[in-house]
């Protein structure tokens, strides 16, 4: 029975030796855009949930009770617009870093495959 199964299974062995730099950059940029959008959406959801639960107001009251006038100055910047600005800056930096890392990975992979001869991949159906 197993001999009949082995005769039916096909396997293809391939060697990946090159990743196109611009394709890797485009794909990593698309991944970075998705991650940036998710970052902004999650930050907005977390802010709205914390605001609805009253955690933002409690934090303001807590810091004002501890630090007095300095605490009120500290939490005066804890606003929705400042949080959104910070989140957008983080998302933009994330977009740049993830795109660059994808391109760097492709370049390093291409350099490494010249040394070791590629990455052996086996595809098959069992």
pTM (2 d.p.): 0.74
pLDDT of residue 6: 56
Domain ranges of the chain: 19-112
- Average the pLDDT over 62-81 and give the result: 79
- In this prediction, residue 4 has a pLDDT band, given cuts at 50, 70 and 90, of low
Q: How far apart are CA 33 and CA 95, in angstroms?
A: 6
More confident residue, 27 or 9: 27
Q: What is the pLDDT of residues 28-71, one digit of tens each?
A: 999 999 999 999 999 999 999 999 998 888 888 887 788 777 77
- Residue 92, pLDDT above cutoff 90: yes
* Beta pairing partners, 71: none
DSSP for 65-120 reads HHHTHHHHHHHTT--HHHHHHHHHHHHHHHHHHHHHHHHHHHHHHHHHHHHH--EE
Q: How far apart are CA 97 and CA 95, in angstroms?
A: 6
* β 10-16/119-125 pair status: antiparallel
- In this prediction, residue 3 has a pLDDT band, given cuts at 50, 70 and 90, of low
């Amino acid at each position: 029975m197993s001999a009949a199964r082995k005769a039916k299974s096909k396997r293809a062995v391939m060697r990946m030796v090159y990743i196109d730099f611009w394709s890797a950059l485009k794909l990593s940029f698309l991944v970075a855009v998705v991650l940036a959008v998710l970052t902004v959406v999650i930050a907005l959801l977390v802010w709205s949930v914390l605001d609805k639960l009253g955690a933002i107001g409690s934090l303001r009251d807590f810091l004002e009770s501890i630090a007095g006038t300095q605490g009120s100055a500290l939490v005066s910047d804890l606003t929705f617009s400042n949080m959104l600005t910070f989140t957008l800056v983080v998302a933009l930096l994330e977009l740049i870093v993830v795109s660059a890392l994808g391109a760097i990975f492709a370049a390093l992979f291409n350099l490494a495959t010249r040394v070791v001869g590629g990455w052996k991949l086996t595809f098959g159906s069992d």
